[in-house]
Structure 1
Amino acid sequence: MMRFDDFQLSDALLTGIKEIGFEEPSPIQEKCIPAVLRGEDVIGQAQTGTGKTAAFGIPVLESVDMELRDVQALILTPTRELAIQVSEELSRISRFKKVRTLPIYGGQPMGRQIKALQQGVQVVIGTPGRLLDHLRRGTLKMHNVNTVVLDEADEMLDMGFIEDIEQVLSYSPEQRQLLLFSATMPPAIRQLATKYMRKPRYITMNRGEVHVPQINQIYYRVLENSKLDALCRFLDSEEVDLAIIFCRTKKGVDELAEALAARGYLSGGLHGDLQQEQRDRVMGSFRNGDLELLVATDVAARGIDVGSVSHVINFDIPQDVESYVHRIGRTGRAGRAGVALTLVTPRELKQLRLIEKETGARLQPRELPSLEEIAAKQQKSWMTQIEGVIQSDADLKLFEDMITQLKEQFSENKIAAAALYVAFSERFTRSQDQSYNFGETGAAPGMVRFFINVGRNTNMRPQELSKAISEQAGITTRQVGKINIYDRFSFVEVPEEVAPFVYEALRQSRINGARVNLEPARPRVRS
């Protein structure tokens, strides 16, 4: 087993590495650190959570000449959040070597950054646009830079930074080392590598090498109109320390963060439309534990690296596999256990299966806990709160007077139970299931009968209809009941408990290439 001592690093750096709790190098660190120390150009393909920051950070810090106060390494990141994260991690690693690092990004006063650069900085981490501003002004000088790092290069490409990156590289010395790290390798990234790198060593982490065994990947099948209630049930039934909740849109972030706050959760939203001061405030509160739930878009969450995140929750399922891997990599850090939860509506089951196929991981289905189970689990917390108030110096006289008046009509047990109901029941009384009421459909007891507007005219056969319902609604073919197919329409029965999922999945869908519409059947008229 390889250890950090095997890399022949300086004592000051080894002390810093041990102080922050690194015990042995991750697979990408084991491969990258020696290559970077030898001065080779490196292409590292690895997902978030594999330890890639230390993979390039440790050898970069080791190579810094402490006698020289000039910038010797430049690290480009797609977002200000990631620039800050990388700077903080490098500062922790080099705590005893005392390398001077500086994050540079837009939204921060230019004058403050210029002053910091003038005082002498050895490693600069920044976003391409702001770095280019400093290079053009002459406030950032590259003549002593011997290493340039492109971190999350594919994200910089997606955000339109490719031209800025090339201009930054044009300012760098000809004989410099270039390190490129990316989760994916689209053609534009390969072209960049071909143009600017010299015989790069290609290091990739296969799925088996990406250390994510402690991430418990699960999903809940939910209806679109009950996603918020499903999320709240999960939060109330699990021990959630810090969680990042992903939404697809900025509007979705605002609405969900507001809805969670209204229900009493410590939540905050993060997306690209926020001012830098607001973003810093939200992230600061999340890091300090003042916020338990951070609701964010994919872009806003780039570079967030809070080691104590216990849960990642996909409120909206990601649109591509890379985003899913990026998201779940925010939990299960530094050997900790983590949970990745995905809420999946019937129409999203196909995307879930694609994610499972591409990642080689099988997400475990879970049933949402009942309201009674949640209430039972919350009782201990409620009792602790009440005991705390009783043992404190809180002024209870107003409430004691109320109890005196109520005792004239009710027993003390009834009064206490009613008070608890007023204090704690709000979340449960409004978290009722929002399901469909199909009424009488002429089905067998416990079943719902649906009408479908296609039949033999589209070559529909019972086995094909049963398979389509199973795949699209996420139920087994055994759960599909009686099927009747006629020339131009069909009927199918399914159990009441899965009927809402079948209805959401199949209405306005396609079977055998034909667009179908599914509606609750009318009760049969018996003569």
Structure 2
Amino acid sequence: MTKFEELGIKNPILTVLSEIQFHEAFPIQAASIPVLLSGQDVIGQAHTGTGKTAAFSLPIIQNIVPKGGIQALILAPTRELAVQITGEIQRFSKNSHVRYVTIYGGQSINVQFNELDRGVEIVVATPGRLIDHIKRGSVKLKNVKYVVLDEADTMLDMGFIDDIRFILDLVPKDHLTALFSATMPPEILMLAEKYMRSPQKIFIDSDDLSGEGIEQAFLVIRDREKMEFLLKFIKENTTGQTIVFCSTKERTRRVAHDLEKERFNVVSIQGDMSQFRRDKAMYLFRKGKADILVATDVAARGIDVPEVALVVNYDVPSHDMVYFHRIGRTARAGAKGKAITLVSYSSIGDFKAISSQTKVAMKDLNKELGIVVNIPDPLKREVSHRRGGGRYEHSKPWKKIRRKTGGKRGKRRRKAKIWRQK
């Protein structure tokens, strides 16, 4: 692997990297850092957990001019990812006299005003709150030299594409742009074509959906049995923390509540929570004061906790990329991890579509645990009885044919019809 000094990184950053045990660069870092240091735009396609933050932040920190105004904008789709990026910048810039701020919705805007008034060189922000500050005049873009769009595909999915265009139209034309995304939908490519200048395209593991370093397994069970097996897998995980992913906010609340009743140290994050509660939950989890985090997909964006040893998909995710994002919360930075998906009978089709995208065989826990799958036949439908003794006959399972037969009401109707005919 390549050492950071070979990429053009200099002291005092090298000293900090050595202190935090960053001796060799990951592939996305080795490919991106020299290009960004040379002043060329970059499009990087890489999945989470590949070291993207260092790939774009180290060149920015090295080239920042202290007290030169806001020189770098880093846009992220969620508050959690923005906070994570700022945390990495804080580590890397320990000896560099670089000032930075994180701005996002849900936090007091007056607190952000005060931090901006003190003077910063790097702004890490979610698009909506950044636009608020631009319109209020608290963020001035005249000195911006670097713009980073991190997880651009997620920002597209969350409806931020127009906000991004608005921001890019305001920054000086001669700025450098770095765009990082796990996928490259047409809208992202069109954005790059309009706003980037001859970007260097870097593709790291763009087709690798295997989840390297992650032992993947699944268990097909009834939905009502999921909590029983979740408890079993959590108790068996003795090597680190656990993240449980749920599909809805209500499901997240219920699962967290049930785990608390079992006396586990649990925190949860989901969209309805206040920013203070979300920040507190993530602080407790990152510090190891909570063993289990229960989260929805959007709320969990940007989670980077090295001690996560187990990820449980309590619900099958809606898309294969969501699945790989979820399981990527474990096995960070070359470590090993385990991911288990609990598949209800109604989700088997969705899970098969996802599992077909993996490059490694998933362990079948039904065979290992001796659990037989008895899937009800949806074509076998019972005849539903009506009050009064009548019934509906279903001649076709997929099409309800209503024909009234028998019962007191049926007899009365036939008698009335005969009487009228007379």
Same fold (TM over 0.5): yes
Q: Which amino acid aligns with 1:38?
A: S
Deviations 1:231-289 (A, max 9, x none): 11111223152111100000100110001101111112210111111111211111122
Residues 1:502 and 1:214: Cα distance change in structure 2 (over 3 Å) = same
Q: Which has the larger radius of gyration?
A: 1
**What is the TM-score with the length of structure 1 in the denominator?**
0.69
Alignment of 1:413-424 (within 5 A): none
Partner of 1:30: 30
Q: Which amino acid aligns with 2:143?
A: N
Deviations 1:301-355 (A, max 9, x none): 0111122211111010111110011111111112222111111223433333322
Q: Which amino acid aligns with 1:507?
A: P
| In 2, Cα distance between equivalents of 1:159 and 1:91 | 27
Partner of 2:258: 259
Q: What SS does the aligned partner of 1:351 have?
A: helix
Q: Which amino acid aligns with 2:374?
A: V
Partner of 2:4: 4
| In 2, Cα distance between equivalents of 1:121 and 1:211 | 40
Partner of 2:166: 167
Deviations 1:425-477 (A, max 9, x none): xxxxxxxxxxxxxxxxxxxxxxxxxxxxxxxxxxxxxxxxxxxxxxxxxxxxx
Contact 1:237 1:369 in 2 (8 A): no
| In 2, Cα distance between equivalents of 1:301 and 1:140 | 28
Contact 2:219 2:341 in 1 (8 A): yes
Residues 1:42 and 1:508: Cα distance change in structure 2 (over 3 Å) = farther
Partner of 1:279: 278
| In 1, Cα distance between equivalents of 2:119 and 2:33 | 26
Root mean square deviation of aligned Cα: 2.3
Alignment of 1:370-389 (within 5 A): none
**1:98: Cα distance to partner?**
2.8
Deviations 1:95-151 (A, max 9, x none): 122321111111222222122112121111001011111111111111111110011
Which deviates more, 150-159 or 107-116?
107-116
Alignment of 1:81-92 (within 5 A): 81-92=80-91
**1:195: Cα distance to partner?**
1.2
Partner of 1:390: none
Counterpart among 346, 367, 378 of residue 507 in structure 1:
378
Residues 1:144 and 1:12: Cα distance change in structure 2 (over 3 Å) = same
Deviations 1:211-234 (A, max 9, x none): 953211122222221011011111
Partner of 2:50: 50
Partner of 2:297: 298
| In 1, Cα distance between equivalents of 2:206 and 2:307 | 24
Deviations 1:33-91 (A, max 9, x none): 1111111111111111111111111111111123x341111000111111110000011
Alignment of 1:75-86 (within 5 A): 75-86=74-85
Q: What SS does the aligned partner of 1:358 have?
A: coil
| In 2, Cα distance between equivalents of 1:212 and 1:154 | 19
| In 2, Cα distance between equivalents of 1:509 and 1:288 | 52
Alignment of 1:179-198 (within 5 A): 179-198=178-197
Structure 2 gap ranges (5+): 382-395, 400-422
Alignment of 1:106-117 (within 5 A): 106-117=105-116
Contact 1:50 1:211 in 2 (8 A): no
Residues 1:341 and 1:497: Cα distance change in structure 2 (over 3 Å) = closer
Partner of 2:407: none
Contact 1:71 1:145 in 2 (8 A): yes
Q: Which amino acid aligns with 1:215?
A: I
Residues 1:293 and 1:118: Cα distance change in structure 2 (over 3 Å) = same
| In 1, Cα distance between equivalents of 2:105 and 2:261 | 33
| In 2, Cα distance between equivalents of 1:124 and 1:509 | 60
Contact 1:220 1:368 in 2 (8 A): no
**What is the TM-score with the length of structure 2 in the denominator?**
0.86
Residues 1:508 and 1:26: Cα distance change in structure 2 (over 3 Å) = farther
> Higher relative CO (CA 8 A, sep ≥ 6), structure 1 or 2?
2
Partner of 1:348: 347
Q: What SS does the aligned partner of 1:301 have?
A: coil
Deviations 1:475-506 (A, max 9, x none): xxxxxxxxxxxxxxxxxxxxx962xx2234x3
Residues 1:167 and 1:262: Cα distance change in structure 2 (over 3 Å) = same
Q: Which amino acid aligns with 2:29?
A: Q
Which deviates more, 345-354 or 87-96?
345-354
Contact 1:234 1:368 in 2 (8 A): no
Which deviates more, 185-194 or 171-180?
185-194
Structure 1 gap ranges (5+): 371-495, 518-527
Residues 1:256 and 1:210: Cα distance change in structure 2 (over 3 Å) = closer
Alignment of 1:78-477 (within 5 A): 78-206=77-205, 212-239=211-238, 241-367=240-366
